[in-house]
Structure 1
Amino acid sequence: MDGVDLPERIGDYAVERELGAGGMGTVYLARSRGGRTVAVKVARPELAADPHFRARFRAEVDAARRVGGFHTAQVVDADPDAPAPWLATAYIAGPTLSGLLAENGPMDEARLRLLGAALTEALQAIHDCGLIHRDLKPGNIIMADDGPRVLDFGIARALESTRLTHTGAAFGTPGFLAPEQAQGLEVGGAADVFALGAVLVAAAGGQAFGEGTPMVLMYRAVHEPADLSAVPEGVRPVVAACLAKDPAQRPTTKRLLDLLAPDTAPPSTPGDVAHAATVADAPRTEALPTFPQQPPLHPETKTATPARKRPGLLAAGVAGALIVLGGAGYGIYASMGAGSDANLPKATHELTIPETIADGAYGWNIENRLPPDPQPDRDGMKGSTHFSADYTVTSTGVERAVAFRTVEVYGSSGRYTDPEGHRDSLIRAMTVTGSESVTEQPRTIRPPGSDVDFRCTTVDQETVCAWGDDNTTVAIAFTPTSSLEVAAAETRKIRDDIRRPIATQS
């Protein structure tokens, strides 16, 4: 970077270079008058203009100052009242955990135990000050000479007070988000323990919830068991307990330290983890009970508890800064059932995301439009690509007095042996939140002019309709709610707009 756009100073700190940028703002490397390096995070202008953010930011800075310990990057200075609020933390030299893993490969059991114990101590220090990290992941962990340091604790909570969350956002990084966090429920320290479990899976060379779009990863975290196949057997029960779906079933940080670093463990320093030192004969933990995974909830049986609104935004942390992504709902991987390629239907139609739908009544919100996302082939599904876009009512829609203000489209096109099963999975992904209130039970409706049945329901503040045919499966969420018949009629128009024949090749 040439430095042309760099501020000369932030507070009393001379700026040297930019370290990164994201949803909260920009992070700079700077020096104090005495020559000490710091990382200074400066809030974006729109956040600076939000009084709720400033008030929450001030409270979080006050709490974060109390987090000492030798496993965090300590807050050294801040000015919540500056024209652009900023926070300075000690600059910790060293690679991130993600960088170290990319260079050196997975950790063995002894190093996983040391890493887990060090990170648990960091979380304990953070939680003791009344903070929750909310975005623990390999990219937020610096492997310093004296051991791992956790960065960016407390920042997400300040962001949660802003208008960015008015639609029910979940802040953090999909793949490391606890189920309650992914669903927008109230979170506590147990959410950080869940993220720690996912970090240890990554450090062992695995991915707790595989690969995929943010929506797919969030859905798996809520509904599917974590993949622990890469984790050494001796530490696998501990990691499994951290990744329990129910936060009450996860171990406390005190219990985790007992399990990861018993008093009988040979003495070692956290730096052994960063330098990949080997600890011989590390003791194994006792077996922990296994906890049942939460199965997907059926939209017609609704047996879940505490209420929340389905997230309309996801936030993914990158290089220590939050970046906001738009989405229409959770991604899904439906259970398609067995089927060979010969049993798959011919590809005749595909999806497109036009700028306007329903005769121009709704226009897409470019900030909440995800690019098409090709999916791997599986039994019962071939050539599938996910699509997602949010639409808002246009002046044409206002003039026509259409029933809805926003339309969220999420679906896929491909070749499916069980399109109705895929359709119903999409409805679950769009509506199952853990405590949903169903005001109109699902019904199958075929509106005039349609050649396909739509499955529609009203959950909380949205009416959702979906269809499934051999080549396209889509769920659409409408707000505000309306009758199922009105939503089905609008869905028919939208289906005509976004489902198109595949051009035949000569």
Structure 2
Amino acid sequence: MTEPLLPSDPTWVAGHRLLGRLGAGGMGVVYLGRTPAGALVAIKVIQAEYAAEPEFRARFRREIAAARRVSSPWAVPVTDADPDAAEPWLATVFVPGPSLAEAVAAHGPLPVRSVRVLGKRLARALDAVHTAGLVHRDVKPCNVLLAVDGPRLIDFGIARGWESPRTESAGPVLGTPLTSMTSNDVIVGTPGFLAPEQAEARATEVGPASDVFALGCLLAYAATGRPPFGTGGVDGVLYRTVHGAADLQGVDALDGHLADLLRDCLTKDPARRPTARRLDKALPEDAPRGGASWLPEPLARMIAERAAETAASRDADPTVPEEPLRPGRPRRHGAGQVDPIR
């Protein structure tokens, strides 16, 4: 849900009118914005104190470059960005639907057909990611948004090329949940939704198969409402990921074919997992054209309500270019509203 802007928030970012807050983390804020043409975008703005660190700014540039390399209708595209701004920012197409995590928390596990459509579309998104020579490395419920016509994969903050040497810094990026040191290596990803080779920080083994494992975790979560390697302390979840069997109780009863595909995805040996393209072909069902019939009615209604809410924000008042400022002059935003220059 969109929250109101705080008094300390900017009202413009490089010609984009900011309409509200979509989320915030230790590194910055994600805003709902509107372009001069009236399109809605999600704008990630990094705090200047972190942007002052050369390594952090370099990582943000990599995030932008990675997202621009991926061409898929099921991955949210970048519309504009400025990694060299005092507060670097990145704008992507706005998707008004909830994340998969929000959807499951609010309405419980998805029906089997919805899980199959979810898996097929996300497999296509990952195939595009891997074709671009990248590994996403953080496929999880919070990074999947549900739209009327299908899901969208977001957040390439820790994506990396998989054909080049992989060395990591422990510095976090907005939206990355874990960078935990283990001896000389770094675990990158989200416990419960990362592969054994990520859990053991075997960086040279992390590749496209790692994303397929994470997708298997995500689909098991969507079908059952729980991560397949449990919850609780990080160490316990990582241990079960490396050594334990995935908990797919309930999936077999719902759809034996889907359960078998998930077991293939969750194989400990990366070489034995299917590719994203093979998984796409193995999943039998696709979403129909038009409408939200791939989702249960409560979720379709949730998406419609959010779309109506954001449409009202978009149409509240026109986006006009900022008035040029003279030194020492306050900026005015609408009748009777004054913000100090920052």
TM range (shorter): 0.7 to 0.9
Q: 1:100 is matched with which residue?
A: 103
One of 164, 183, 208 as aligned partner of 2:200: 183
One of 266, 283, 294 as aligned partner of 1:260: 283
Q: 2:176 is matched with which residue?
A: none
> C-alpha separation between the residues in 2 aligned to 1:20 and 1:266?
31
**Residue type at the aligned position of 2:117:** L
> C-alpha separation between the residues in 2 aligned to 1:254 and 1:92?
25
TM-score of the pair, normalised by structure 2: 0.73
> C-alpha separation between the residues in 2 aligned to 1:244 and 1:69?
27
1:111 and 1:276 in contact (8 A); partners too = no
Q: 2:14 is matched with which residue?
A: 11
Q: 1:326 is matched with which residue?
A: none
1:53 and 1:162 in contact (8 A); partners too = no
Q: 2:335 is matched with which residue?
A: none
Q: Aligned in 2, Cα 1:40/1:239: closer, same or farther, shift over 3 Å? A: same
Q: 1:73 is matched with which residue?
A: 76
> C-alpha separation between the residues in 2 aligned to 1:166 and 1:97?
25
**Residue type at the aligned position of 2:114:** R
Unaligned runs of 5+ in 1: 278-506
Alpha-carbon offset, residue 105 of structure 1: 2.8
**Residue type at the aligned position of 2:187:** A
Alpha-carbon offset, residue 166 of structure 1: 9.3
| 1:321-470 to 2 correspondences below 5 Å | none
> C-alpha separation between the residues in 2 aligned to 1:45 and 1:135?
25
Tell me, yes or no, if structure 1 residue 64 matches structure 2 residue 83: no
Q: Aligned in 2, Cα 1:266/1:247: closer, same or farther, shift over 3 Å? A: closer
Alpha-carbon offset, residue 162 of structure 1: 5.7
> C-alpha separation between the residues in 2 aligned to 1:24 and 1:34?
29
RMSD: 2.6
Identity, in percent, stands at 46
> C-alpha separation between the residues in 2 aligned to 1:163 and 1:138?
23
Alpha-carbon offset, residue 236 of structure 1: 0.7
Tell me, yes or no, if structure 1 residue 192 matches structure 2 residue 211: yes
**Residue type at the aligned position of 1:179:** P
Q: Which has the higher contact order (CA 8 A, sep 6+)?
A: 2
One of 221, 238, 245 as aligned partner of 1:225: 245
One of 236, 259, 262 as aligned partner of 1:216: 236
Paired residues in the alignment total: 274
Q: 1:144 is matched with which residue?
A: 147
Q: Aligned in 2, Cα 1:179/1:267: closer, same or farther, shift over 3 Å? A: closer
Could you list the per-position Cα deviations for residues 324-377 of structure 1 after superposition, in whole angstroms to 9, with x for gaps in the alignment?
xxxxxxxxxxxxxxxxxxxxxxxxxxxxxxxxxxxxxxxxxxxxxxxxxxxxxx
> C-alpha separation between the residues in 1 aligned to 2:216 and 2:31?
30
Aligned to 2:90, the other structure's residue is in SS state strand
1:156 and 1:171 in contact (8 A); partners too = no
2:145 and 2:151 in contact (8 A); partners too = yes
Unaligned runs of 5+ in 2: 162-166, 173-178, 299-342
Work out which of the two has the higher radius of gyration on C-alpha atoms and give 1 or 2: 1
Moved over 6 A (4+): none
Alpha-carbon offset, residue 217 of structure 1: 1.2
1:140 and 1:152 in contact (8 A); partners too = yes
Q: Aligned in 2, Cα 1:24/1:272: closer, same or farther, shift over 3 Å? A: farther
Q: 2:267 is matched with which residue?
A: 244
One of 41, 49, 54 as aligned partner of 2:52: 49
Q: 1:114 is matched with which residue?
A: 117
2:228 and 2:246 in contact (8 A); partners too = yes
1:48 and 1:85 in contact (8 A); partners too = yes
Alpha-carbon offset, residue 46 of structure 1: 4.2
